């Protein structure tokens, strides 16, 4: 059988790595994603390149580190000219479509500078991070005194209105709120998380996007090969889910919190600032965790049920046998572990994500149901997709590496450490810490044993021994006994930082093709009397004497 | 008086820093550039960001390090999207024109990807490194078995032909060759350097470009403010100059060679490879130096005479009082020092350039004729030009800093070290050294005392103590006694490499403007019961209860 024609690249948002039963969750059963894992390879050390939506996704969609593309936080524009998955795939005849969320912010100033109109095909792709948008819906329709957080049109709100849901923002009032005392009980307030979202389950965000994906696949059947980025909005906050998922889980299913009093004793100043912010304080309260985590589990259960629906449909239509499927997330969720909520820092619940890759090709038969413990970076996916289509990976642009060898049971030489980054320059904590906007940056360097965090701005590092302390309670960054490990990790970070990441307009092969060729074009440097010219060029440079051209 | 309306940015090519009399050359008198220095500020530590034409210029024209823009060698395309001097200046109402050389290679693939046609205004500017080309002429019309080195049209060859110079490439046959025995004696052969170029002096490249600059200034008089990049081709090779400059200097005027037997004892492997290449071997021969250096001096003398002509004309037309003038070079020339020729490595003759800045404004009166010894990088010029026009320097894009404070007698806090880089991936030496194309990279870190060179690929560093050893003969890079200095320089390089260089689509001010603002747009993260919402938002989030929108 030839390789699968299409790629279904499924991303969940804020799905913590250990909240699937195939990754060991004791109470949350996710049989459909488990089954995908049983038919594919499950990666246990997949790190996102930034534990926050926008930056993580820009890395995944460009196949490049945050330090390389510069869109280092939510709504930081991806500069015009940066190449995306869509650029690489279309070049090899593969369409690249979006169904769902990207968190892409267009570089409007850069587009204007280059005269790119967002209603042109090229401009639209630049504005949509290289995707052709079947549906673009970020599901972030917060609204406050300054207006809407996301001012783009919302296909999902349009859909809800078409179905008769009232109000000007049914995303909020129905899909992400409950009802209490006959009033809207906003899902923004975590106390409302146990309520049922005020919406028919089949109209909520996750089934709605599943419908759009099936609609896409049905419409594209028999056409050109495609990658479809099915990018779910959930289980990302607001933490609220419709019936029957809202009460499937209760506080009795909440995993014990992973935190330790030692973490609050003389913590790293940046870690302390995150622990002390509103999010950290809230998620350190049992009542918050007991309200939120069952809803979060319900959202994931709904996602898994939708996977079941989708995969069944794909099996019925035969698509399952002709589609490479990837399922992952853009980052995790602390959920109160380490006295933190949300994401942002580099503990495993935040920076590690689930990653399952299923390839229907017989070459992958030997690895079905296996687990890969190598250090994977999510930027590896872009290279994987190009490699899947048999094209050479443009490694002067893409900084990740194809994962296909792991599906074929090969043992490639692999990276020794993974990198993640975080930019907290928009956080008020940067003020409190006295850090300039360009110094509010963190780098993680992790190998299989050590996890190191470097902070710009003159702070000491953080360091965890993942073997001795897998729960990451004991920060060794200031312990002189580990100075050699700190030095090793710093040297790795330095080498990585010096990497050649911007020579993107010329491949290594092109460099080799012009190596030592200037003399062939008559650039004779260091030649005194011509005897130095290699014999093969003698005819050209020592040929018959040319007549002297005179000024006429 | 208001600030000067226009900027004349003069660049010579391969003009070594100490080959002007104001920089101390004992035999080569350059009164016109000296006079500019007497009326302006002369910088004694100006380093180019790469000691090779293309990469150095791309840094200077973008105001960014090579590691940031990626066009790290001659004819490596500057990727589309990278912002240039022209982008920054036009945004503030200043035209940006080119008269002469840039060594810009357009990113044709990137332009095609974004649909930018090179015959559109935007496309032409992208292809010309942001300049509007009054004249683009790189003066590199080498021709060999593989054809022309530069396949673009040559306005200079067209000019020569219009003046009756014969042959299809009069740039070579007339401007850059002499005559011997009635035959073309090619300037590519250094033995011919003492001959007079076979051209009327006023038709040679340097006067021709001076004419074009005056033509430009005359045409633009009274119009919008402009920057004119008057970018000479000389004293770059081929080393040959027309009469009367060809015999103004002889071997008796050649400065003693700066080299030492210690340099050949166990040298750094990369340094050794450069010493042993054809260029190094040639320039280590006295007959080569005695032939080339007098011609090189003649070329510089001609440049200075043309400066005299240009400045006189500017004085007569009043332009001298309304024009900021910068004179510099894109790199130096070893000329046999350190057993090397040309440029490429980081000894002072290669990486340091002359820099003179003249500002007619009264604010600069106090510093006229003074010398500035601070560590200047040539990327500082782009910031200087923007600052000169009173606009804020976009420091999220431009990595250099304005030099204007030095012209006003201020003592700003300044950088502690300068950076330069070199990519030798197209050199056959990379093969000999067994270095992969992406590891064939060198970094210089220089402060006022120490000069450090790091090479990727597992080599030891180089280190010079410029106080104890100003001639850079004693490489301390492998000496354990200097391990602490090496560590300090490595840490500086690491910090520099981690810098935020790609967040170019968002200014620091824009980051600060959105800091902590998500709650204003209704993104309420970490809020449990609403009590956590600051009082100022209570009206918005705790206002009258909204009626419950029902599904109709």
Q: What pLDDT is attached to residue B2?
A: 76
- Find out whether B70 and A64 touch, Cβ atoms under 8 Å: no
- pLDDT band, very low/low/confident/very high, at B548 (cuts 50, 70, 90): low
Residue of A198, A423, A545 lying closest to B183 (CB–CB): A545
The CA distance from B106 to B126, in Å, is 7
Q: Is residue B27 part of a domain?
A: yes
For range A541-547, the mean pLDDT:
55
A516, pLDDT greater than 90: no
Q: What pLDDT is attached to residue B518?
A: 87
- Find out whether B262 and B474 touch, Cβ atoms under 8 Å: yes
Sequence-ordered alpha helix ranges (H) in A434-500: 483-497
- State the smallest CA–CA distance between residue A316 and chain B in angstroms: 34
Among A265, A244, A234, residue whose Cα is nearest residue A333: A234
Cβ of A511 within 8 Å of Cβ of B426? The answer is yes
Q: What pLDDT is attached to residue B543?
A: 47
Q: What is the pTM of this model?
A: 0.97
The CA distance from B301 to A205, in Å, is 75
Average pLDDT, chain B: 96
For range B235-250, the mean pLDDT:
98
Percent of chain B with pLDDT over 90: 93
List, for residues B439-477, the tens digit of each pLDDT value. 999 999 999 999 999 999 999 999 999 999 999 999 999
For range B240-245, the mean pLDDT:
98
Which of B194, B279, B393, B527 is the best residue to mutate to test the A interface, defined by the most A CB atoms within 10 Å of its own CB?
A: B527
- Find out whether A321 and A360 touch, Cβ atoms under 8 Å: yes
Task: Give yes or no: residues B523 and B399 share one domain.
Answer: no
Q: Is residue A428 part of a domain?
A: no
Q: Is residue A289 part of a domain?
A: yes
> Residue B101's CB: how many other CB atoms inside 10 A?
27
Cβ-proximal residues to A3 (8 Å cutoff; 6+ apart), any chain: A324, A361, A388, A389, A390
- Find out whether A522 and B142 touch, Cβ atoms under 8 Å: yes
Q: Is residue A138 part of a domain?
A: yes
What H or E segment, with its residue span, contains residue A124? helix A121-127
Residue of A179, A514, A549 lying closest to B166 (CB–CB): A549
Q: What pLDDT is attached to residue B343?
A: 95
Tokens of A365: 């038969």
Q: What pLDDT is attached to residue A537?
A: 83
What range does the domain containing B360 cover?
6-415
- pLDDT band, very low/low/confident/very high, at B534 (cuts 50, 70, 90): confident
For range A436-445, the mean pLDDT:
96
Tokens of A148: 């809407």
**Long-range CB contacts (< 8 A, 24+ apart) of A255-258?**
A255/A25, A255/A26, A255/A27, A255/A293, A257/A289, A257/A336, A257/A337, A258/A337, A258/A338, A258/A349, A258/A471
Total of domains in chain A: 2
Q: Is residue A497 part of a domain?
A: no
- Cα Rg, chain B, nearest whole Å: 26
B118, pLDDT greater than 80: yes
- Kindly identify which residue of chain A lies nearest to residue B281, measuring between CA atoms: A526
Interface contact A437, partner B, CB < 8 A: yes
Task: Give yes or no: residues A386 and A532 share one domain.
Answer: no
Task: Give yes or no: residues B13 and B136 share one domain.
Answer: yes
The residues with which A462 forms a beta bridge, in sequence order, are: A453
Percent of chain A with pLDDT over 90: 94
**Helix and strand counts by DSSP (H, E) for chain A:** 19, 19
Interface contact B67, partner A, CB < 8 A: yes
Count Cα neighbours of B402 within 13 Å in the Cβ-side half-sphere. Answer: 18
Task: Give yes or no: residues A522 and A402 share one domain.
Answer: no
B211, pLDDT greater than 80: yes
- State the smallest CA–CA distance between residue B312 and chain A in angstroms: 30
Q: What pLDDT is attached to residue A544?
A: 45
A 299-318: CB under 8 A from B: none
Interface contact B430, partner A, CB < 8 A: yes
List, for residues B265-323, the tens digit of each pLDDT value. 999 999 999 999 999 999 999 999 999 999 999 999 999 999 999 999 999 999 999 99
Among A489, A305, A500, residue whose Cα is nearest residue B442: A500
Q: Is residue B443 part of a domain?
A: no
Interface contact A548, partner B, CB < 8 A: yes
Q: What distance lies between CA A60 and its chain's CA centroid?
A: 4
A536, pLDDT greater than 90: no
Of the residues A415, A431, A456, which one is the last residue of a structural domain? Answer: A415
Cβ of B81 within 8 Å of Cβ of A110? The answer is yes
Interface contact A458, partner B, CB < 8 A: no
Asked if ipTM goes beyond 0.90, one says yes
Cβ-proximal residues to B246 (8 Å cutoff; 6+ apart), any chain: B178, B194, B195, B196, B197, B240, B295, B298
Task: Give yes or no: residues B373 and B521 share one domain.
Answer: no
- pLDDT band, very low/low/confident/very high, at A391 (cuts 50, 70, 90): very high
Interface contact B459, partner A, CB < 8 A: no
Kindly list the residues from chain A whose CB atom is less than 8 angstroms away from the CB atom of residue B279. Answer: 525-526
Cβ of A81 within 8 Å of Cβ of B76? The answer is no
- pLDDT band, very low/low/confident/very high, at B538 (cuts 50, 70, 90): confident
Interface contact B81, partner A, CB < 8 A: yes
A153 three-state secondary structure:
coil
A 4-63: CB under 8 A from B: none
Count Cα neighbours of A214 within 13 Å in the Cβ-side half-sphere. Answer: 18
The CA distance from A528 to A386, in Å, is 49
The CA distance from B416 to A485, in Å, is 28
What H or E segment, with its residue span, contains residue A461? none
Sequence-ordered alpha helix ranges (H) in A357-403: 380-388
A248 phi, psi to nearest 5 deg: -70, -30
Of the residues A415, A450, A485, which one is the last residue of a structural domain? Answer: A415
Torsion angle of alpha carbons A533, A534, A540, A542, nearest 10°? 50
- State the smallest CA–CA distance between residue A358 and chain B in angstroms: 32
Of the residues A355, A384, A415, which one is the last residue of a structural domain? Answer: A415
Q: What distance lies between CA A276 and its chain's CA centroid?
A: 27
- State the smallest CA–CA distance between residue B274 and chain A in angstroms: 12
Q: Are strands A376-377 and A41-47 parallel, antiparallel or unpaired?
A: parallel
- State the smallest CA–CA distance between residue B470 and chain A in angstroms: 27
Q: DSSP code of A549?
A: P
Sequence-ordered alpha helix ranges (H) in B128-249: 155-162, 170, 205-220
Cβ of B75 within 8 Å of Cβ of A165? The answer is no
- Find out whether A442 and A273 touch, Cβ atoms under 8 Å: no
Tokens of B502: 């790609």
- Kindly identify which residue of chain B lies nearest to residue A285, measuring between CA atoms: B528
- pLDDT band, very low/low/confident/very high, at A308 (cuts 50, 70, 90): very high
- State the smallest CA–CA distance between residue A29 and chain B in angstroms: 27
A540 three-state secondary structure:
helix
List, for residues B73-106, the tens digit of each pLDDT value. 999 999 999 999 999 999 999 999 999 999 999 9
Q: Is residue A490 part of a domain?
A: no
Torsion angle of alpha carbons B50, B51, B55, B61, nearest 10°? 80
**Long-range CB contacts (< 8 A, 24+ apart) of B469-476?**
B471/B258, B471/B260, B472/B338, B472/B347, B472/B348, B473/B259, B473/B260, B473/B262, B473/B263, B474/B262, B475/B263, B475/B267, B475/B268, B475/B271
Strands (E), A6-154: 6-12, 41-47, 95-100, 132-136, 143-144, 147-148
A1, pLDDT greater than 60: no
Task: Give yes or no: residues A380 and A520 share one domain.
Answer: no
CA distances from A372 to A45, A412, B167 (A): 8, 12, 67
Q: DSSP code of B472?
A: -
- pLDDT band, very low/low/confident/very high, at A162 (cuts 50, 70, 90): very high
Tokens of A351: 């920076």
- pLDDT band, very low/low/confident/very high, at B546 (cuts 50, 70, 90): low
Tokens of A432: 């409190």
- pLDDT band, very low/low/confident/very high, at B547 (cuts 50, 70, 90): low
Among B55, B45, B105, residue whose Cα is nearest residue B75: B105
B348, pLDDT greater than 90: yes
- Find out whether A138 and A233 touch, Cβ atoms under 8 Å: yes
Tokens of A63: 């196949």
Q: DSSP code of B437?
A: T
Cβ of A532 within 8 Å of Cβ of B278? The answer is yes
For range B17-41, the mean pLDDT:
98
For range A230-254, the mean pLDDT:
98
| Region for residue B81 given its phi and psi (left: phi exceeds 0; alpha: psi -120 to 50; beta: otherwise) | left
Kindly list the residues from chain B whose CB atom is less than 8 angstroms away from the CB atom of residue A116. Answer: 114-115
Q: Is residue A293 part of a domain?
A: yes
Task: Give yes or no: residues B410 and B525 share one domain.
Answer: no
- DSSP helix, strand, coil percent of chain A (3-state; round to 5): 40, 15, 45
The 3-state secondary structure of B18-83 reads: CCCHHHCCCCCCCHHHHHHHHHCEEEEEEECCCCCHHHHHHHHHHCCCHHHHCCCCCCCCECCCCC
Sequence-ordered alpha helix ranges (H) in A262-403: 269-276, 278-283, 286-317, 348-351, 380-388
CA distances from B137 to A26, A50, A385, B164 (A): 71, 45, 43, 19
Among A77, A171, A69, A70, residue whose Cα is nearest residue A128: A77
Q: What pLDDT is attached to residue A518?
A: 87
Count Cα neighbours of B349 within 13 Å in the Cβ-side half-sphere. Answer: 20
**Helix and strand counts by DSSP (H, E) for chain B:** 19, 17
Average pLDDT, chain A: 96
More confident residue, A543 or A447: A447
- pLDDT band, very low/low/confident/very high, at B544 (cuts 50, 70, 90): very low
- Find out whether A108 and A116 touch, Cβ atoms under 8 Å: no
Q: How far apart are the first and last CA of chain B?
A: 72
């Amino acid at each position: 059988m030839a390789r699968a024609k299409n790629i279904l690249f499924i991303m969940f948002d804020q799905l913590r790595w250990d909240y699937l039963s195939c990754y060991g969750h004791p109470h949350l059963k996710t049989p459909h994603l488990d089954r995908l894992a049983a038919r594919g390879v499950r990666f246990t050390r997949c790190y996102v390149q930034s534990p926050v939506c926008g930056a993580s996704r820009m890395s995944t969609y460009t196949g490049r580190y945050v330090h390389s593309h510069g869109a280092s936080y939510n709504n930081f524009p991806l500069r015009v000219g940066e190449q995306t998955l869509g650029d690489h795939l279309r070049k090899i005849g593969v369409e690249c479509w979006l169904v769902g969320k990207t968190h892409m912010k267009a570089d409007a100033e850069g587009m204007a500078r280059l005269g790119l109109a967002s209603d042109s095909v090229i401009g639209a792709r630049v504005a949509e991070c290289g995707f052709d948008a079947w549906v673009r819906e970020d599901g972030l329709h917060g609204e406050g005194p300054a207006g809407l957080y996301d001012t783009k049109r919302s296909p999902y709100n349009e859909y809800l209105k078409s179905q008769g849901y009232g109000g000007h923002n049914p995303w909020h009032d129905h899909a992400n709120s409950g009802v209490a005392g006959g009033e809207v009980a906003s899902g923004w307030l975590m106390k409302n998380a146990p309520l049922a979202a005020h919406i028919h389950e089949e109209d909520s965000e996750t089934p709605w996007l599943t419908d759009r994906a099936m609609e896409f696949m049905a419409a594209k059947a028999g056409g050109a090969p495609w990658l479809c980025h099915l990018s779910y909005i959930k289980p990302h906050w607001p933490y609220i889910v419709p019936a029957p998922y809202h009460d499937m889980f209760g506080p009795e299913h909440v995993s014990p919190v992973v935190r330790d009093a030692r973490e609050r004793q003389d913590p790293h100043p940046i870690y302390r600032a995150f622990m002390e912010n509103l999010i950290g304080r809230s998620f350190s309260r049992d009542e918050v965790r007991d309200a939120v985590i069952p809803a979060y589990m319900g959202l994931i259960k709904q996602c898994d049920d939708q996977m079941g629906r989708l995969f069944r449909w794909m099996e019925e239509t035969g698509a399952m046998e002709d589609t490479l499927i990837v399922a992952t997330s853009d980052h995790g969720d602390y959920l109160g572990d380490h006295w933190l909520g949300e994401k942002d820092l580099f503990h495993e619940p935040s920076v590690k994500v689930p990653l399952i890759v299923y390839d229907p090709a017989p070459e992958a038969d030997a690895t079905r149901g296996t687990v890969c413990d190598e250090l994977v970076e999510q930027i590896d996916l872009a290279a994987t997709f190009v490699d899947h289509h048999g094209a050479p990976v443009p490694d002067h642009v893409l900084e990740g590496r194809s994962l296909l060898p792991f599906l074929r049971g090969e043992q490639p030489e692999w990276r020794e450490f993974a990198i993640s980054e975080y930019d907290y320059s928009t956080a008020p904590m940067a003020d409190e810490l006295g850090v300039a906007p360009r110094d509010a940056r963190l780098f993680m360097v992790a190998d299989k044993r050590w996890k190191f965090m470097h902070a710009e701005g003159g702070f000491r590092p953080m360091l965890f021994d993942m073997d001795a302390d897998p729960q990451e309670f004991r920060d060794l960054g200031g312990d002189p006994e580990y100075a050699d490990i700190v030095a090793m990790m710093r040297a790795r970070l330095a080498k990585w930082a010096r990497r050649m990441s911007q020579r993107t307009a010329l491949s290594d092969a092109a460099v080799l093709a012009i190596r030592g060729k200037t003399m062939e074009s008559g650039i004779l440097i260091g030649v005194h009397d011509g005897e130095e010219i290699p014999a093969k060029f003698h005819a050209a440079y020592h040929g018959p004497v040319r007549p002297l051209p005179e000024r006429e």
